[in-house]
Structure 1
């Protein structure tokens, strides 16, 4: 007697991901969900465990003719304009997603995913998203109304870099998401270099500040307005002050903004 063994893929719920983080939360065997610890994130072999699994063939059927990579770009459907962040997106390995979970998008060429992800996760984009979200969902029709930088801007050489903007973004996004063995193969598709060090919160904060500062410049937002926009994220501010004694996120972004303007 033989038993058919089917390859299974994780069912990623919205609460399992965060910005540039596909290992935000994990399930225990008793069905409880918890945040992934810093020690676990520093372990390049650690993977988040879902509550449910879906046959790989079912996922392949859904993606056939639409996507041929073994990774996906998506954002949380469930959100509120009063949350710490409203648009929460990341790239993760191939997975299934439930209703109300992660909404997916497909890119051509695939490396454009890095630019899209950085755009979505920027404070500049999130500030606008918060004006449009009136309930508890961020659906496709809302995302289509939000301002994104154009491909021509991504191809241009910026004042703060001697390379095309998209390549500058590739390097930083890949360092943020390709930080464990599960994700490092994705770096080749995104034309970036995976992180050579374990999960490092300080390094990540600086990389994200550079990306946020860049998008404030790309949207043409003046420094005083950057200061104002950052003050409209009170939970980010409160958590920073509790942990660092200052609004560190805003300071790092403004410092990066000034360096790029010099």
Structure 2
């Protein structure tokens, strides 16, 4: 049955994930309606939020006029035998034209409210706002008031975390070990050569010792599993040997907090109930990891996320969160980093991190509960000011956390008022022999066009090569040689780039580049070996190419169309822009302009 539904032309908008009856039913309703026909249906709330229903939302936006989206929880047991927390939606639409805006109401408990919807209850949500807030999934946020809409628009002044940018740091997340599939690696007691396995329940905000570990993993076995079949272990630094940002993947909108995150110490592995950062191109350094953790721990970000999620903090929700990506050159950066570091660095495993941000060591960490409460209030207020919120908006955000103690919320609001008049300075940093002065990094270069690429040669350090230059070399190698084991691929790409030997740094950079090539759809895994997925640009699905084109553009700066086409080609590993690529790219630009995801000004375009 599953194969039939996936191949049937009448169910062409089922998207990713498992076949689901409510998804099939919704598409069938659209297909059966005549022009001007009206449909009303009661279905699970995943229709407006889940990534797997993105294509259905696009169908409804483009081919129908949505006349109502009324969401209610089953708190009053409207449906017997169904969990009280389960959410349903009454969806109504007319098969005519397309949707520019639609009335919506969320988190209702009484179906009698339908009598007053949408005239007296609910609010209007524009499709343009949905596209701006969730460009990759078109998920509809659960706004409950016009204030929610205004706050979302204010926070959108900053780029989404999933947007890859060349001018600052980026975030990529992964799951390291699956708690079921990899359970044969887990030991129930510590021992020589074993490292702890971290789970989501072990962390809280600024606290990586919230609970004790249940399992340990043999380091050698774990390295072999991480590197995969054919992966060569030459002692390279892997992610578990670095400080990482991590967040719980199991959550709930009715919990005290929805986003729970912390900095994960070095020398630990993580189960899939934790999503952890990956070190890749434009990777986070120690200071930026602490900064990211401070922002993601804030009430502002938590408030934004709990309007999207249900019980799973999926990566795509995190990637669609707008976050200020400050670096140490910004005067607002270090005041946040130093306070967050004092909350994080309270135990010996964080001594290196403490020194990296300018403290003498973990002994300068804040362990007194009153001092920790003060620092957290300062951080929450600083992040709220960073987003440019008003006092009324911040008060509204705090009011959406009913399980947080009132004195905690009052302290954050009072600190917000104080900082509005007198911004807090950075905490003093150590300069004596016991610590080192924090290094202030210069801002990464902002690129508005793609500069000419130097011809690779053995004298050019691998770190100075453009990432897209390596992508082109990867495509060239696999077009000529076919499937390769990972270590063979690294050597072949190194030779293509002009390196006769592959030292540790070259291997580390090229290994990361191969993983990036998989994410971009250039390569795929086949029985443990890597292979070229598609030889020409015409072989890719159009929607996938749209996302890659936007990623290739980077930030929201204006770019000449011809330069944008060349950047897209190299992003996908094509060294030259032939007729097929140019025609495809121009078609993508036109489509993205129609969808409102690109803006045009003469011969220039930019992301919206």
Q: TM-score range by the shorter chain?
A: 0.7 to 0.9
Equivalent position of 2:349 in the other structure: 182
Deviation at 1:56, TM superposition (A): 1.9
| Paired position in structure 2 for 1:54 | 217
- d(CA) in 1 for partners of 2:197 and 2:260? 18
Q: Is the 8 A contact 2:245 2:263 kept in 1?
A: yes
The Cα RMSD (Å) is 2.2
Is residue 198–residue 274 contact of structure 2 (8 Å, CA) maintained in 1?
A: yes
CA distance in 1, matches of 2:222, 2:417: 45
Separation in 2 of the partners of 1:206 and 1:74? 24
1:96 to 259, 269, 273: 269
- Give SS of 1:151's match: coil
Distance 1:68 1:130, change over 3 A: closer
Secondary structure, counterpart of 2:244 in structure 1: strand
Per the alignment, do residues 260 and 133 of structure 1 end up closer, same or farther by CA in structure 2, a change over 3 Å counting? same
Query: How far apart, CA to CA, are the structure 2 residues paired with 1:58 and 1:143?
Result: 31
Find the aligned partners of 1:186 and 1:110 in 2 and give their Cα distance.
7
Alignment correspondent of 1:42: none
Q: 2:248 aligns with which of 76, 85, 88?
A: 76
Aligned to 1:146: 321
Equivalent residues of 2:241, 2:268 under 8 A apart: no
Q: In the alignment, does 2:401 pair up with 1:233?
A: yes
Q: How has the CA–CA distance of structure 1 residues 187 and 258 changed in structure 2, closer, same or farther, with 3 Å as cutoff?
A: same
| C-alpha distance in structure 2 between counterparts of 1:168 and 1:146, whole Å | 22
Relative contact order, CA 8 A, sep 6+: which one is greater? 1
In the alignment, does 2:197 pair up with 1:11?
yes
2:455 is aligned to none
| Separation in 1, partners of 2:365, 2:334 | 21
- Residue number among 301, 320, 336 corresponding to 1:169 in the alignment: 336
Partner of 2:252, secondary structure, is coil
Q: 2: CA distance between counterparts of 1:57 and 1:111?
A: 29
Deviation of the 1:222 alpha carbon: 0.7
Deviations 1:167-193 (A, max 9, x none): 112211110011122322221234445
Superposition pairs of residues 98-137 of structure 1, within 5 angstroms: 98-99=271-272, 101-106=273-278, 107-134=283-310, 136-137=311-312
Secondary structure, counterpart of 2:414 in structure 1: helix
Change (3 A) 1:142 1:65: farther
The equivalent residue for 1:213 is 381
Give the distance between the partners of 1:165 and 1:197, measured in 2 at CA: 21
**C-alpha contact (below 8 Å) 1:92/1:183 kept by paired residues:** no
1:25-36 pair list within 5 angstroms: 25-26=211-212
Query: Displacement of 1:6 after TM fit?
Result: 4.7
Task: Provide, for residues 62-110 of structure 1, a one-character-per-residue CA deviation record: whole Å limited to 9, x for no partner.
Answer: 38566374432200011011111111111122311222x1110134333
> Any conservation in 1 of the 2:342–2:366 contact (CA below 8 Å)?
no
Name the structure 2 match of 1:254: 413
* Native 8 Å contact 2:366 2:372 kept in 1: no
Residue aligned with 2:275, SS: strand
CA distance in 2, matches of 1:73, 1:124: 18
Whole-angstrom CA distance in 2 between matches of 1:121 and 1:54: 29
Unaligned runs of 5+ in 2: 1-190, 228-235, 422-608
Structure 1's unaligned 5+ residue stretches are 27-49, 157-163, 241-246
> 1:198–1:230: structure 2 CA closer, same or farther, 3 Å change rule?
closer
Could you say which structure has the larger radius of gyration? 2
Distance in 1 of aligned mates of 2:243 and 2:209:
14
1: distance between equivalents of 2:385 and 2:222?
39
Tell me which residue corresponds to 1:44: none
Offset of residue 150 of structure 1: 2.5
C-alpha contact 2:345 2:365 (8 A) present in aligned 1: no
The residue aligned with 1:32 is none
Alpha-carbon distance change, 203 to 60 in structure 1, aligned in 2, over 3 angstroms: farther
- 1:145–1:60 distance in 2 versus 1, CA, 3 Å: same
* Number of equivalenced pairs: 216
